[in-house]
Amino acid sequence: MAKLEVSSKRVMLRNYVTGFSQETYLELSQGTIVLKVPQGSNAILVKNLYLSCDPYICKKGTVYRKPYLTYHELFKICSPKKGEHVFVSAASGAVGQLVGQFAKLMGCYVVGSVGSKEKVDLLKNKLGFNEAFNYKEEHELDAALKRCFPEGIDIYFDNVGGKILDAILNMRTRGRIAACGMVSQYNLEQPESIKNLISIISKQVCIQGFVSHEQYHLYPQMLDTLLPYIREGKLVYVEDIAEGLERSPAALVGLFSGHNVGKQVAAVAHE
């Protein structure tokens, strides 16, 4: 391949970020890069069409999340059984929408919390959740949980941490919590307090934190299990596509206020 100099756009941080991320913390700049694969090399040049926008990109430190790999984590950590009562937060997001559908395929009763009426509709009408609520419209989180789970919660797949996690800690005996993410906490100077941790003793609750980057070897096995469901339309995946690199800072920051509906990506090129 010949050496080729091309114009390139970049999104970069202006400065070290503290507190809540804002779009103005990121700046778009223009430069040039040289595209070249050395002669005789086995390397290939890859063209990125989409970029993933994930909450951890804005977080101090790094949490790796791969939506499809949460399949193994849900089953390994939570062992969902038919008829169990499952709650998923950030349930229309990249991870939550799949977790809820996996649990439904297992025959569980599944409820999700989201941040808008539109997302409640998505969960109930497109993704097949049994119930869903908009946490921003609930004055009493405990009351919303009691309404949706009169018999209590067996499994909580936590994507948000903070108040919702705290409210759920007093769950059913032998409850299981998969701690996947705590998006409500990433940009706080001081994390919110958890007050109900003592409940886990008498309820024999297990809380397991996880990252997915150690599960790559299970990827083929997961595809074997899930591809038939996808082909049959029993598993759907909703994406929110921001057009152009210029829109990626807003898309990234929007994750923290729940602007995205489904997995947020930025389309930076078209084939």
Q: Which residues bind its own copies (CB under 8 A)?
A: 61-63, 161, 165, 179-182, 185, 190-191, 193-211
Q: Closest approach of Cβ 208 to its own copies, in Å?
A: 5
Query: End-to-end alpha-carbon separation of the chain, Å?
Result: 19
Closer CB to its own copies, residue 29 or residue 193? 193
> Residue 181's closest CA among 17, 53, 55, 20?
55
Q: Closest approach of Cβ 112 to its own copies, in Å?
A: 20
Closer CB to its own copies, residue 171 or residue 235? 171
State which H helix or E strand residue 112 sits in. strand 109-114
Q: Closest approach of Cβ 184 to its own copies, in Å?
A: 10
What residues does 262 pair with on adjacent strands? none
Q: Are strands 4-13 and 26-35 parallel, antiparallel or unpaired?
A: antiparallel
Give the CA distances from residue 149 to residues 109, 113, 155, 172, 220, in Å, rounded to whole numbers and listed in that order: 9, 13, 11, 10, 35
Closer CB to its own copies, residue 59 or residue 119? 59
Closer CB to its own copies, residue 125 or residue 208? 208
- Rounded-to-integer distance, Cα 226 and Cα 102, Å: 9
